[in-house]
Structure 1
Amino acid sequence: MAFIFQKLISYVEDIKERNHSSAAALVVIKDNKIVLEHYSGYHSNVPEARPIQENSQFNIASARKSYLGIAVAYALHEGKINSLDDLALKYFDMALLEETTIRHLVTHSHGLHQEEDGKIFREFPAGEGWAYRGINILMITELINRLYGKSFPELLEERVFKPLGFKETHWQTQESEHLVKVIHHPNEPASYTLGHKRDGTESNLHTSARELAIWGNLHLNNGYINGVQIVPSEVIRLAVQVQNPPYKNKDLPPNGLFWYVQDTPALKSEIGERVPKGSYQILGITGPTLLVIPEYNLVVAKMYNKRYNYGGANYLHYLREFSNLVADTFLESSSRVII
């Protein structure tokens, strides 16, 4: 069946070369079966680096927000957070929060930003704009850890990772031959991107392309996999349906709990306009993308290891182009008769 997805493989390889990534991986799950696994390149851009294999673990950077999103959904489902419309001041002692709600914090519509010296300031009134910042991720991470009395990675390990049989998804603090190094500059050797803590406050989540795809498939199936309801369906629904406040500017991207969600196609969305409504996607600065298209019963995970993988003002074009290509490939493949 791999020939059906040759356009996807060629695209992934082309971007790998153009953006000076030393590694690429692509996994496609269709109708709950892995129908394509493609691995190429090496763990680093230095001679004698380890080849990429199915157990190679990539730093997925901001794609880790989908894991935080499910922790928020658990907190809502279990009443530890009463409502997305709870005022953030109920949980945080910060004067700048004003009318900011939990909904604003988890959909990037909060309007807060942080200077290099740590000072927090307001860019725009909560709910009246969209900006991708880091302050809300730290706040929500700390909130979940406080509400559960344990880190959200520990929560997910107990409730999700172990039942799924995950062995390659961890917040890494030590070097390992299975970890893929990150290239910051093409002419400099790649390096490990590790953290000092495993509590979810640092961008050190590593996973294999296969386990990232299975993570997407868990969401596709509303928490039900291999005959077991691993995650309550309501938790998944909360995470991947549109949750942002209504925007006056219709070009702003719709979000679930950190996921980008396809509603009415928006110019500033990372999801292409040809992707069906109800699809959702998460991505990271090092090149990972996880795209789930429920209408096609399809999950696609791709990996790279280059920071600022798309770079510059064209990054939206690349991301939209890839998701459109996935949608087009499925439509093309569905019209063929495979013997």
Structure 2
Amino acid sequence: METTYSALISYVKDIQHLNQSSAAALLVLQDDRIVFEHYDGFHSNHDSKVVDVNSMFNVASARKSYLGLAIAYALYEGKIRHLDDLVSDYFDEYDVGTFRGTTIRHLVTHSHGLNQDETGLVFREFDAGEGWAYQGVNVEIVTNLFKRLYGYDFTHLLRERVFQPMGLSRTEWATRAAPSLVKVVDVPDEEASYKLYPFDDGMGSNLHTTAREFAAWGNLHLNNGRHRGVQIVPEEVIRLATSIQSPEYANSTFPTNGLFWYVQGVPKAWSELGEAVPTGSYQILGNTGPLLLVIPAYRAVVVRMYNKRYNYGGDRYLDYLREFSNLAAETLRPTDNPIP
């Protein structure tokens, strides 16, 4: 079995070493069962606790997939009328000029064109729908939108409607240190912390989960909302979250997104997904290294975990992400399946 995944393990280990991550995990789930898992390293660069199945990693920006599901619920339940509703329809306090033409679709697909300066002032970098840029301001707006619509944080909805029915006991927005939490290495020679973001940022940050429960989250999507034969999440909610929702771009290099997920249509130069990854696959990534890849065509979920802030590769980090996804797809491709 390990021979099948040897190339994938070697790649994970190489990047772990190159990026000076103290911890790593790799898990492959296929046809609703774990077929391979690998754990390596320690909870931090100054910690002797060994990484294992109970180690909870800070998934950083991969938490956007959880927010995306909450927004899909809001669409499904009619709290949001349509993805093409203007942001100004829901927020009177936002500057009309800056937000002119910006829709919910633009926010969840990184095509909004907004950015934020050090004082918190929101400004426009390009016209909504005319470009693509990965910024944090859209997450703040969408998080606030959900709270305005429901009267509580999106984390509450997920705990009540998803985590509890699935029995996810090791997926939580941790607010205090615990032995199970893997710390985030920022500077390798300095002490690490399990906390990546402020607790009071109001955006559901510092989400921790194990490789197994991260895979279960991906498998819930793969199974269109079913978990162990039970419909936990409505199928339409999953479809909204994981199908391409991006506007039509004039620039053919821009990636395509669902509700924050990167979704494979025609392979794109700016995408995290390589050309060997089948159409309809989707992926989410955090800047501490956690990666969740769902390949419906192969009934597969791949989890990769690290704990080093910023993905390896500098300006070429997308090349390494595409290499990993290509290798994962090639490893999992059924022998009787044609190359996609």
Per the normalisation by structure 1, the TM-score is 0.96
User: 1:266 and 1:237, CA in 2 relative to 1: closer, same or farther beyond 3 A?
Assistant: same
Query: Secondary structure at the residue paired with 2:331?
Result: helix
Q: Could you tell me how far apart the structure 2 residues matched to 1:195 and 1:134 are?
A: 12
Report how many residues are paired.
334
**2:65 maps to what in 1?**
66
The answer for the alignment partner of 2:306 in structure 1 is 304
Q: Is the 8 A contact 1:151 1:199 kept in 2?
A: no
Please tell me whether the aligned partners of residues 171 and 198 of structure 1 are also in contact (alpha carbons under 8 angstroms).
no
Query: What's the counterpart of residue 135 of structure 1?
Result: 137
Alpha-carbon RMSD across the aligned residues, in angstroms, is 1.5
Q: Distance in 2 between matches of 1:318 and 1:76?
A: 34
Q: Is the 8 A contact 1:87 1:102 kept in 2?
A: yes
The 2-side partners of 1:183 and 1:260 are apart by 26
CA-to-aligned-CA distance 1:300-321 (integer Å, 9 cap, x gap): 0110000013141110011000
Question: How far is the alpha carbon of 1:113 from its aligned partner?
Answer: 0.2
* Partner residue in 2 for 1:31: 31
Q: Structure 2: how far apart are the matches of 1:334 and 1:211?
A: 28
**Structure 1 residues 199 and 145, CA, compared in 2 at 3 Å: closer, same or farther?**
farther
Residue 170 of structure 1 corresponds to which residue in structure 2? 172
Stretches of structure 1 that go unaligned for 5 or more consecutive residues are: none
Quick one: structure 1 residues 81 and 126, their matched pair in 2 at CA, closer, same or farther if it must change by over 3 Å?
A: same
Structure-to-structure mapping, 1:222-233, within 5 angstroms: 222-233=224-235
Write the distance in 1 (CA, Å) between the matches of 2:82 and 2:32. Answer: 33
Return the letter of the residue paired with 1:124. Answer: F
Are residue 83 (structure 1) and residue 82 (structure 2) matched? yes
Distance in 2 between residues matched to 1:257 and 1:277, nearest whole Å: 17
User: What secondary structure does 1:4 align onto?
Assistant: coil
Residues 70-104 of structure 1: CA deviation (Å, up to 9, x unaligned): 00000000000000010110012312111110000
**Deviation (angstroms), 1:195:** 5.3
Match of 1:21 in 2: 21
CA gap 1:198/1:7 in 2 versus in 1, 3 angstroms: farther
Farther-moved stretch of structure 1 (265-274 vs 302-311): 302-311
- Partner SS for 2:102: coil
Instruction: Provide TM-score, normalisation by structure 2.
Output: 0.95
Q: Structure 1: how far apart are the matches of 2:236 and 2:263?
A: 17
Measure, in 1, the Cα distance between the counterparts of 2:335 and 2:180: 36
Displacement over 6 Å in runs of 4+:
none
Mapped partners of 2:252, 2:202: distance in 1: 32
Give the 3 Å change call, closer, same or farther, for CA 21–63 of structure 1 in structure 2. same
Runs (5+) with no aligned partner, structure 2: none
How much does 1:150 deviate? 1.2
Q: Is the 8 A contact 1:27 1:209 kept in 2?
A: yes
**Counterpart position of 1:280:** 282
Secondary structure of the residue aligned to 1:40 is strand
Whole-Å separation in 2 of the counterparts to 1:179 and 1:77: 34
C-alpha separation between the residues in 2 aligned to 1:312 and 1:115?
23
Secondary structure of the corresponding residue to residue 44 of structure 2: coil
Contact 2:184 2:196 in 1 (8 A): no
8 A Cα contact 2:281 2:296, kept in partner: yes
Amino acid at match of 1:76: L
